[in-house]
Structure 1
Amino acid sequence: MTDKTPVTVLTGYLGAGKTTLLNRILSEDHGKRYAVIVNEFGEIGIDNDLIVGADEEVFEMNNGCVCCTVRGDLIRVVSGLMKRKGGFDAIIVETTGLADPGPVAQTFFVDEDVREKTRLDSVVALVDARHIHEQLDRSREAREQVAFADRLILNKTDLVDEAALAEVEARLRALNPLAPITRAERSRVPLEQILGVGGFDLDRVAERLPADNPGHGEPGHVHDENCGHDHHSPDHGHDHHHGPRGHAHQDDVKGVSLSLERPLDGQAFTRWLDRLLAEQGPDILRAKGVIDVKGEDRRLVFQAVHMILEGELERPWRPDERRWSRAVFIGRNLDEAALRAGFEACAA
């Protein structure tokens, strides 16, 4: 695991602050060697004083980082970077203008050579606090970028008041109950909140899930590391609320949280999940869960990206631990009642 180079996919709608963030990574003295893959060099606007050497596609910076552009095939670019001497602490792939980070993420699961040398660490989405409501209302891309992320960076927080920020955060959580939200100004984010997040690490699936399911007993809590206080998650049974000026937002993308106190039949659950991903895979952006399988001492953890499913029996349940099954599905046009019925029908 450790010898593979971690990859962060950085996404976010136009104007969210990705370029500012990438320029910081390429120019600051952080003592790390990062490779940044962008769609276009022109957008980054690299300061010539910082460039050490450049070949056709790769600019080397004087802080040891390199920046290269994707012309065509991402797999070829990543393979080329991995052959460079010295290696990298991490690779950051920016997905400007891509509708859905899913295809980029899938590259790191499906290509054997890339999988051998790299591991997908997380998808991080930058969000413009001032303009995000309008972007989410009109752009499917903006909704999918938020829904797909392992971490959300709520940027430009200095441009809106606290009430507006709370409202934006509530809407972001309805779209994506799994991603912690970090507030930032001018893309100033500690790099450890973007790199090494472990969003695709099966061992860390459980810590990503909401502590409890909204609408079932106590409301769920999502801790925001930057705020120093917990926010109640909204009830995911309702995928609309009132935005600025009292307009209701009806998002086609949402997160659905499921839970069951009784153990599940392992084979029934696997069949249901396989069928669900086969039929609705293109609409299911992300899914994660920890399952209590009847007759099994270990926790079954799974995650899915569209139709790509990974799962394994992880550590044993601890004697003092609450044994229950929970899963979160994030996607387009999800039928919450049907998902809940299918999940509960797997009870042993």
Structure 2
Amino acid sequence: MILYHFFKRAALSSLLTRGYVVEPIIVVVGFLGAGKTTLLKRLVTEYSQANWSPFVVLNDYENANLDAQQFLDMLDEKSLKALNGSCICCSGIGELRESVNRIPERANGITLIEANGTTDACALMGFLGVGIEARFMPPVQISVVDVKNWQLRDIHNELEANQIQVSSLITLSHTDSVSEERLGQVKEDIRAINPTAEIMLCEELEINTLPELLPSSNSAEKLAHHKSHWSSCSVDLPNLPDPICIKEICDAIPSSVIRIKGCTVLGTEPGYTYFERCPDGEVYVRPYRGKPTTGAKLLTVGPCSDALLLESAIHNSLEAAKLRQAK
């Protein structure tokens, strides 16, 4: 694979000298809740302001359109591609590769791919780099590492460590609430796994340096396939009477379900509300831009994801809301 990237770089240099335009591909990976979408939004904003033409590909187990729609105030719909239902590191790699090759040529183009939070990042880069048209540069991977929760994920630690092995750049998120000692320890851990990657805080990242990154030459340990693929589920979510219902729904879903996302209308509020429970148990609520094209949904990723479980959690929260209103 390293030789492939070397020869493709040489071929790209030849194309450049003959006046051809080549497009960088930046793949953003990281564990669930690490901050990939936050980083991606920043990249889209800053590249657009710098007269680049970003194209964004989003992958998720369930309803990637829910995330993609949040980019519609930054990008034209034709510059977005949502890949649902399969993981782009294995069963979805063919669809991903075809989607990239169909991206229209444009001046100052850059392709940004966000992988789902359980992606086998090493396998993804091994497969994606083969079969991409010559007008694209070899894909380069950026990992987002949540410093607060790094390697505190019990059985999921191996997957989290796997996701940084072949990254050219590792950005550190959630650093505002950790000690300098913790930050230093995480950096030391990362260097032991990937000694060739550049490490920086997310806020230190500068967009003009990313297209110049080279694919990682670091060797990767193979991850058992079943450790990076979990069950997922989604159900319709009715309007909820109040924000308490969100907490009750999230509390009713077991911790083995490592990611919860939802979008609904709260009470008499005019717009939609988006919420998520991250792997550390924190629940975040914020306004949702626009109206979800698939309707209001509750989505989960992780063992025990089950439609009956989700429907029961929703039903019980609505019944509890009735009792609150009756008092």
TM-score by length of 2: 0.52
Equivalent of 2:100, from 50, 55, 78?
A: 78
Classify the secondary structure of the residue corresponding to 1:125.
strand
**Per-residue deviation at 1:90?**
1.7
**Per-residue deviation at 1:148?**
2.0
Q: Describe how 1:46-65 pairs up with structure 2 within 5 A.
A: 46=70, 48-52=72-76, 54=77, 58=78
Aligned partners of 2:185 and 2:69: how far apart in 1? 34
1:183 equivalent in alignment to 2:201 = yes
Classify the secondary structure of the residue corresponding to 1:119.
coil
**Per-residue deviation at 1:24?**
1.9
Aligned partners of 2:173 and 2:157: how far apart in 1? 18
Equivalent of 1:69, from 59, 62, 82?
A: 82
Equivalent AA in structure 2 for residue 79 of structure 1: N
Equivalent of 1:34, from 32, 54, 75?
A: 54
Tell whether the 8 Å contact from 2:37 to 2:114 is kept in structure 1 after alignment. Answer: no
Superposed CA deviations along residues 196-223 of structure 1, whole A, max 9, x for unmatched, are 21235xxxx6xxx9xxxxxxxxxxxxxx
- The answer for unaligned runs of 5 or more in structure 1 is 59-65, 210-254, 256-279, 284-348
1:97 equivalent in alignment to 2:117 = yes
**Which residue of structure 1 lines up, in the alignment, with residue 215 of structure 2?**
199
Larger RCO of the pair (alpha carbons < 8 Å, separation 6+) = 2
**Which residue of structure 1 lines up, in the alignment, with residue 169 of structure 2?**
151
Q: Describe how 1:104-119 pairs up with structure 2 within 5 A.
A: 104-111=124-131, 114-119=132-137
TM-score by length of 1: 0.49
Tell whether the 8 Å contact from 1:5 to 1:119 is kept in structure 2 after alignment. Answer: yes
Q: Describe how 1:299-318 pairs up with structure 2 within 5 A.
A: none
Q: Tell me the percent identity.
A: 22
**Which residue of structure 2 lines up, in the alignment, with residue 135 of structure 1?**
153
- The answer for unaligned runs of 5 or more in structure 2 is 1-11, 85-91, 224-327
**Per-residue deviation at 1:176?**
1.1
Tell whether the 8 Å contact from 1:122 to 1:198 is kept in structure 2 after alignment. Answer: yes
**C-alpha spacing 1:189/1:152, structure 2 compared with 1 (3 Å):** same
Superposed CA deviations along residues 82-117 of structure 1, whole A, max 9, x for unmatched, are xx2525532111111343223332334321xx2422
**Per-residue deviation at 1:48?**
4.7
Structural RMSD (CA) = 2.9
Tell whether the 8 Å contact from 1:7 to 1:91 is kept in structure 2 after alignment. Answer: yes
Equivalent AA in structure 2 for residue 157 of structure 1: T
When you count strand as a share of all residues, which structure comes out higher? 1
**Per-residue deviation at 1:121?**
4.1
Equivalent AA in structure 1 for residue 215 of structure 2: G
**C-alpha spacing 1:44/1:165, structure 2 compared with 1 (3 Å):** farther
**Per-residue deviation at 1:136?**
7.3
**C-alpha spacing 1:124/1:24, structure 2 compared with 1 (3 Å):** same
Tell whether the 8 Å contact from 2:26 to 2:142 is kept in structure 1 after alignment. Answer: yes
Equivalent AA in structure 2 for residue 196 of structure 1: E
Aligned partners of 1:90 and 1:170: how far apart in 2? 32
Aligned partners of 1:175 and 1:166: how far apart in 2? 15
The count of aligned residue pairs is 191
**Per-residue deviation at 1:49?**
4.1
Tell whether the 8 Å contact from 1:16 to 1:127 is kept in structure 2 after alignment. Answer: yes
**C-alpha spacing 1:281/1:153, structure 2 compared with 1 (3 Å):** closer
